[in-house]
Amino acid sequence: MSNPYDPNAANNPYGAPDPSAGAGAYGQGGGGYGTPYGQAGPTDPYGNQAPKKTDPVSIIGFILSLTFCLSLIGFILGLVGLSRTKQGKRKGRWAAISATIIGLLATIIGGVLIAVLVIFANSVISIDEAKVGQCLDVSSETNDSVTITDQSCDGDHDGEITWVGTFDDLESSQFVPSNPDDLTDAGVSYALCTSLMDPADVDALGEDVEYQLVNADSSPTSGEAALCYATRQDGKPFTEKQLP
């Protein structure tokens, strides 16, 4: 007679399960209530989910986007940061979005400013390359310096170049002052410029103009380039070319 409590009995309903049968319905091998969803992320030694790290690429991109000279790099890093922070893989998505927007705007604005500066620099009239009859605008003027830029003679322009030469020509004039600082005086400029100009050009401009003498250095020396230009006394622009 078999013992119903014999653990080795094959038909013992309470006996130990057959090892060859694999994990039970509630085992960890793949059935029942195991871990069907897996872990959401890395965990610490206590089984708690580790906090997500802030993406350094996005932060660096945001910082660089705030500077004009490196805004393009910030924009590129912002695009990289968008990929690295999508679906919550890393924190700092706000920095990636900001770097992309600010970097793009700063790059566009910086490009426009550079283009404007290049165009302005190319339009500044060099004393060494100036020509008589060239029309100009006075971009800035102080007691000691003036900036003149090339302007079309077909429309409004502040003035026209009336003479181009060197300081040697000024020294040969009877109107040259002993003090170089007096070269900026309106009366001295008028006397010097009209004495050096073609008399026909003086007559063409008439008496309602004033002359400005320009040289590259506040203390000119022999051989240094110089020029004269004329503007209207009333401060209004010329509407057409005055010199032939």
Looking at residue 149, its pLDDT comes to: 93
Q: Are residues 117 and 134 in the same domain?
A: no
Domain that holds residue 116: 56-121
The secondary structure of residue 216, as a DSSP letter, is S
The answer as to whether 4 is a domain residue is: no
**3-state per-residue secondary structure call for 160-202:** EEEEEEEHHHHHCCCCCCCCHHHHHCHHHHHHHHHHHCCHHHH
- Residues 150-159, mean pLDDT to the nearest whole number: 93
Domain stop point among 69, 99, 121: 121
Q: In the predicted model, what is the mean pLDDT of the chain?
A: 80
Domain stop point among 121, 142, 171: 121
Return phi, psi of residue 195, to 5°. -75, -25
- Residue 170 pLDDT class (50, 70, 90 cuts): confident
Most confident of 16-25, 146-155, 165-174: 146-155
pLDDT digits (tens, 9 = 90+) for 190-217: 888 888 899 999 999 998 999 988 877 6
pLDDT digits (tens, 9 = 90+) for 71-114: 999 999 999 999 999 988 899 999 999 999 999 999 999 999 99
Cβ atoms of 45 and 51 within 8 Å: the answer is no
pLDDT digits (tens, 9 = 90+) for 114-145: 999 999 888 999 888 899 999 999 987 776 77
Overall domain count for the chain: 2
Looking at residue 98, its pLDDT comes to: 95
- Residue 32 pLDDT class (50, 70, 90 cuts): very low
pTM score, whole prediction: 0.60
The answer as to whether 166 is a domain residue is: yes
- Residues 16-30, mean pLDDT to the nearest whole number: 50
Cβ atoms of 101 and 94 within 8 Å: the answer is no
Looking at residue 48, its pLDDT comes to: 60
The answer as to whether 116 is a domain residue is: yes
Q: Tell how far CA 126 is from the center of its chain.
A: 26
Looking at residue 91, its pLDDT comes to: 92
The answer as to whether 142 is a domain residue is: yes
Domain stop point among 86, 106, 121: 121
- Residues 218-240, mean pLDDT to the nearest whole number: 85
Looking at residue 51, its pLDDT comes to: 75
> For residue 16, what are the CA distances in angstroms to 20, 33, 157?
12, 21, 108
